[in-house]
Amino acid sequence: MKLSQVDMNLFLVFDVIYAERNLTRAAEVLSVTQPTVSNALARMRAQFNDPLFVKTSRGMTPTPFAESLSGRIGEAMGLLASSAHARDEFRPDTSQRVFRLSMNDWLEVRIMPDLAAAISLSAPNVGLRSHRVSRSDILRDLASGALDLAIDVPLENAADLVHVPLVSQRYVCAVRRGHPLAGQALTIEEYLALGHVHVSGRRRGGGLVDFALQRIGKRRALKLRLQHYHSAAPVIRTSDLALTITEDLARDLDFEVLELPFDVPELAFNLYWHRLLDEDPANLWIRNQVIGLFSDVNVDYEA
């Protein structure tokens, strides 16, 4: 197939459908009607002789061929976007730009109220969108422009991203006020005897705490697995279950804090953006707004 035979707008539609996994949301992002998106998808299917996206219970799931295209199309869209805006002046006071950020629910609670308040003063028409993107998709979404910034743990295979450390927190064992173990020095036997709640957006697999226990040949009993810390909070408050989380979060949720009887690496979060947008005025402005919320951040950026 010759490139001259392909409508370049279809690549943009492909990129947005891949990011949203939903034709209605894709249409909203593109500011067109859903039939327009459906028509574009039909044209792409005919040109590539592949379904590209198949409707499933999880949304529009890309075919293996679509997956093979996604990285190159996303990177190309990001390059075009950065080139188009390279010389744009960004004026926060008059801009109507919408910035999209990826973070977990704890960071959203910590960051978004202050970020929204700060932006409303200097950029009253600027919008913010926060949602959690899978780590496997962060690089692609930052490259394509589906995301402006991502806040996440240190990422592997992030050579095309620039980052700055934001916050690092140590783990503690959190239990309800009045828990039988409250105020005691927790032993490893007592810790393992507790029923534990694990918070993760993934279907399976452990976290840093479980890896730390594996290193000493131990394993905790997981009684409950939830997606969000703030859904776990009422469970902990009404039971003798334990939640191993960062100290700041435990104190924010008003839990009893017990020191862990084994070593766990601190949980670090970085702010990420794509290297193509390193000097983009709008991206520079929004990331400085986020960095400004963390007074102890060293702004010596690392690639």
Residues with Cβ < 8 Å from 137, sequence gap 6 or more?
A: 19
Angle formed by the axes of helices 9-20 and 34-48, nearest 10°:
110
Domain 98-168+268-291 annotated CATH 3.30.2040.10: no
Q: Do 90 and 285 contact (CB within 8 A), yes or no?
A: yes
- pLDDT value of position 82: 56
pTM of this structure: 0.64
Q: Which residue has the higher pLDDT, 154 or 87?
A: 154
- pLDDT value of position 157: 73
- pLDDT value of position 300: 46
Rounded Cα distance between 300 and 155, Å, is: 18
- Residue 297's pLDDT band (boundaries 50, 70, 90)? low
Domain ranges of the chain: 3-84, 98-168+268-291, 171-265
pLDDT, one tens digit per residue, over 180-233 is 999 889 999 999 999 999 998 777 777 889 999 999 999 999 999 998 888 899
- β-strand pairing of 98-102 with 127-131: parallel
- pLDDT value of position 288: 95
DSSP structural state of residue 302: B
The CATH number, out of the four listed (3.10.180.10, 3.40.50.2300, 3.90.1650.10, 3.40.190.10), of the domain defined by the range 171-265 = 3.40.190.10
Highest CATH level, class, for 3-84: mainly alpha
Residue bearing tokens 């534990």 = 196
- pLDDT value of position 87: 52
